[in-house]
Amino acid sequence: MLFRATSLVYNTKEKNRASWGFSYLSDKVYVENQGMASVDYGYKLQLNTNTNLHLGIKVGANFNNIDIDKLNSTISIAPSFLYRIVSDAPNQITVIRKINFKDQLQVGMCVSNNDYISAMLVFSGMQKLDFGYGYEMGQRTSSTALRANTHELFMRFKFGKQAKSNVKLSNTF
């Protein structure tokens, strides 16, 4: 069940300038279950013939619960490591951390030994193809001060059968 709302509210009629009531509210939205239970007391103080002051007190408790097991089944973290060798250039090491949401969307950050950091967004909803966008920016140290930031669009084709697993591994950016 993705959504459920429950409420129960009861208030008495005013008697001898006083009334009381109780409330119970509960909402369940996906992995979160939250609610409130309270007791109310109200009193009407007559200041003059045309003016009343309504006083009240409410005592209650709030609760909040997040179903971590359900959350873990839809969100996973995938660390990756990329080592590049290019002739006439220093070797490059990139550490990648991606958060995968329901095997549909990945958000990631990357750090490289060439003073660049990058962010990426990958749409993984298709069976054999992933589409993504990446943005890489230099840290503006003396060796990278003149290098430009880059925008990258990419498409990844997945070869072979896709096995469902709780362990998520990735080896590309």
Q: Quote the pLDDT of residue 170.
A: 47
Q: Per residue in 156-169, pLDDT tens?
A: 888 876 555 444 44
What pTM value is reported for the model?
A: 0.49
CA–CA separation, 171 and 31 (whole Å): 30
Per-residue pLDDT at 53 exceeds 80: yes
Confidence of residue 87 (pLDDT cuts 50, 70, 90): confident
Exposure string of 27-54, with b = 16+ CB inside 10 Å and e = fewer, is ebeebeeebeeeebebeeeeeeeeeeee
